Amino acid sequence: MVLVTGGANGIGSTIARSFPTKQAHVCFCDTDASAGQALAKEPRPLGRRGVVASHRLTALTPSGQPAAGCRAPLGSNK
């Protein structure tokens, strides 16, 4: 599982799109819900899962909070 911050657009989406081709599930955080939902569907044809977590990350965000939103839907890569 890979966690990408700002993954729904721009460089973040390019990074998020690269991991399913390497057999990884991808979770990304973004505030753009519509772009995030569309991107989350892309890994399915590759047999991978994508999840968008709508977190606004700041310096005050607890470090484990975004990853916790990914663990349940994605599990592990095993």
pLDDT at 41: 92
Collapse the DSSP code of 14 into the 3-class scheme (helix H, G, I; strand E, B; otherwise coil) and give the result. helix
pLDDT at 14: 93
pTM assigned to the model: 0.71
Mean pLDDT of the chain: 78
- Look up the CATH number of the domain holding residue 70: 3.40.50.720
pLDDT at 10: 92
pLDDT tens, residue by residue, 30-58: 888 889 889 989 999 999 988 887 666 65
Residue 75 pLDDT > 70, yes or no? no
Residues 6+ apart with CB under 8 A from 34: none
For 25, the domain range is: 2-74
User: Which helix (DSSP H) or strand (DSSP E) does residue 5 occupy?
Assistant: strand 2-5
